[in-house]
Amino acid sequence: MNKADFPIFQKYPNLTYLDSAATTQKPSSVIKGITQYYTDENANIHRGIYDLSAQATQKYEAVRGKVKDYFSIPHLEEIIFTKGTTEGINLVAQSFVLPHLKAGDNIVISAMEHHANLVVWQHICQQRKANLRVIPINQNGTLEMTVLDKLLDERSKLVALVHISNTLGTINPIKEVIKKAHQKNIPVLIDGAQSILYPDLNIANFEADFWVCSGHKMFGPTGVGILYGKRQYLEEMQPYQFGGDMIRSVTFEATSFAKLPHKFEAGTPNIAGVIGLGYALDYLKDIDKYAVNEHLKKLTNEATARLLEIEGLRIIGRAKNKSGILSLVLEEVHPHDAATFLNEQNIAVRAGHHCTQPLMDFYQISGTLRASFSGYNTMEDVEKLVDGMKGMKRFFV
Ligand code: PMP
């Protein structure tokens, strides 16, 4: 993976893009594929008898096959196209958990969840007088696994856990958590929003019951995402939204629903988005993810070592097992001022709470400056970040 594949770096050769955890840049094949669909292939899917519609349907459904192969998902019907991670989690909350959630039950999440994997669980717990239990973390940003055993019991209806933290970069031991939960017959949802470059992204092997992710964080377009769910659960779940495309037959008296996966894809879906996602998966398929991970490790280790030489700079999230995400706090400099300063040097980073406010409370900070690497970043980008932070220190402190 390199910058030459991504047109934005030709448009802005001086851009140091360090915000891939927010959204990745898009390779030209994805951009061209979406343009081609709208230029040459546009038609609505599933309903048309004419050629263009049949071809669009085939292209859309073929992406389900690509998702199946890429994530090693056992069955095509277990793949639902959503608009992103957030929608996937809301779908599981409303259609899987809420109908069975009773007063005194509990849902287990972790202290490092993105608001997308927190607020909806809190909301439905409040609705039903159930309890939200939180797996604590230590100062390094690692889950306190010994506490987990005490949190899981016969009233636990779901464990909802992030695989890779968007703020700390921590890679959680999801296999171990899933095993512990399954020993007590508790299903597990994994938030895989940040997982796309993880080298062994094999959902069947993880044995997660639900997995959610977003196209725009995996080199594809915005507005599209994937929900994987085990067939036995999806079969028994009620639809999330109602309307066209998700029915088998409708009368004024009653409606019967379509089979999986269409039961969960009401209305005209994001056809161009799904097709774009297919091109992103084609791009990713040809990437050696082990090599990309070695590269990311080098960038992260070098940046960590060099940044820690700056007096007054702290890195929030020091887990042993972590991805290319660095959350920085520079004493006496507000993260927004820091990001504005870096922007003057064409360095794009994110500042704030990163949709993890309880995590900010835990570390007693208002926010961080987050630099996140992807496969297209280089050592030169690391240099620029380090120089930028050093310049900032001279300027502000
Ligand atoms: N979970 C994590 C870990 C994330 O990083 C994000 C996006 N920042 C989300 C959930 C939500 O993703 P989306 O906004 O694409 O639905």
Question: Residue 203 burial by CB count (10 A; 0-12/13-18/19+): exposed, middle or buried?
Answer: buried
Alpha helices in 51-210 (DSSP H): 51-71, 85-92, 119-128, 145-151, 174-183, 203-206
156-191 burial: b if 16+ Cβ within 10 Å, else e = bbbbbbbbbbbbbbbbbbbeebbebbeeeebbbbbb
Going by CA atoms, what residue is nearest to atom 4 of ligand 1? 193
What stretch of H or E contains 251? Answer: none
Name which of 179, 171, 221 is nearest 195 in CA terms.
Answer: 171
- Read off the pLDDT band of 355 (50, 70, 90): very high
Question: Is the minimum distance from the CB of 114 to ligand 1 under 6 angstroms?
Answer: yes
Q: Is the dihedral of CA 56, 61, 64, 69 positive or negative?
A: negative
Predicted confidence band of residue 318 (pLDDT cuts 50, 70, 90): very high
Q: In what order do the strands lie in the sheet with 79-82?
A: 79-82, 225-229, 210-214, 188-191, 156-162, 106-110, 131-135
Q: What pLDDT is attached to residue 15?
A: 98
Share above pLDDT 90 across residues of the chain, in percent, rounded to a whole number: 98
User: Residues near 383 by Cβ (< 8 Å), separated by ≥ 6?
Assistant: none
Find residue 131's DSSP bridge partners: 106
Question: What dihedral do alpha carbons 30, 31, 33, 39 form, nearest 10°?
Answer: 170
Say how many Å lie between the CA of residue 248 and the centre of ligand 1: 33
Global pTM value: 0.97
| Ligand 1 pocket test, candidate residues 167, 355, 359, most atoms within 8 A of CB | 355
Ligand 1 centroid–CA 86 distance in Å is 7
- Calculate how far, in angstroms, residue 70's C-alpha sits from the geometric centre of ligand 1: 20
Q: Supply the pLDDT for residue 47.
A: 79
Measured CA to CA, the distance from residue 206 to residue 230 in angstroms comes to 12
Q: How many whole angstroms from 379 Cα to the centroid of ligand 1?
A: 27
261: left (phi over 0), alpha (psi -120 to 50) or beta: alpha
| Most distant pair of Cα atoms in the chain: their distance | 72
Q: What band does 360 get if pLDDT is binned at 50, 70 and 90?
A: very high
Q: Which two tokens stand for residue 102?
A: 């009773």
Taking the centre of ligand 1 as the mean of its atom positions, its distance from the CA of residue 290, in whole angstroms, is 24
pLDDT tens-digit readout, 123-158: 999 999 999 999 999 999 999 999 999 999 999 999
- Residues noted as catalytic: 355
Which whole-number Å values give the CA distances from 24 to 196, 214, 216, 279, 326, in the listed order? 10, 11, 6, 14, 16
Contact of 256 with 192, CB cutoff 8 Å: no
Counting from 1 in the atom list of ligand 1, the atom nearest the Cα of 83 is: 16
pLDDT tier at 370 (50, 70, 90 boundaries)? very high
| Rounded distance from Cα 85 to ligand 1 centre (Å) | 6
| Mean pLDDT across 92-103 | 98
Cβ(368) – ligand 1 distance below 6 Å: no
Q: pLDDT at residue 8 above 90?
A: yes
Number of the ligand 1 atom closest to the C-alpha atom of 85: 16
- Ligand 1 atom closest to Cα of residue 222: 15
Asked whether residue 397 carries a pLDDT value surpassing 80, the answer given is no
Q: Do 312 and 331 contact (CB within 8 A), yes or no?
A: yes
Whose C-alpha lies nearest to ligand 1, atom 12?
Answer: 85
- What's the rounded mean pLDDT across residues 4-19? 98
Cβ atoms of 315 and 386 within 8 Å: the answer is no
- pLDDT for 270-295, tens place per residue? 999 999 999 999 999 999 999 999 99
Q: Which atom of ligand 1 has the smallest separation from the CA of 354?
A: 8
pLDDT of residue 182: 98
Query: Is 113 near ligand 1, meaning CB less than 6 Å away?
Result: no
Atom of ligand 1 nearest to the CA of 355: 8
* Percent composition of the chain: helix, strand, coil (DSSP 3-state, to 5): 45, 20, 40
* Rounded Cα distance, 279 and 30, in Å: 5
CA distance 165 to 293: 16
The mean pLDDT of 174-190, rounded to a whole number, is 98
pLDDT at 48 over 90: no
CB of 300 closer than 6 angstroms to any ligand 1 atom? no
Residue length, the chain? 397
Among 340, 329, 326, 215, which residue's Cα sits nearest to residue 281? Answer: 215
pLDDT in tens, 49-80: 999 999 999 999 999 999 999 999 999 999 99
**Residue 193: CB within 6 Å of ligand 1?**
yes
- CB atoms under 10 Å from CB of 321, counted, come to 11
What is the average pLDDT value for the chain, to the nearest integer?
97
Residue 193 C-alpha to ligand 1 middle, in angstroms?
Answer: 5
Q: From the CB of 191, is ligand 1 less than 6 Å away?
A: yes
Amino acid at 113: E
CB of 278 sitting under 6 A from ligand 1: no
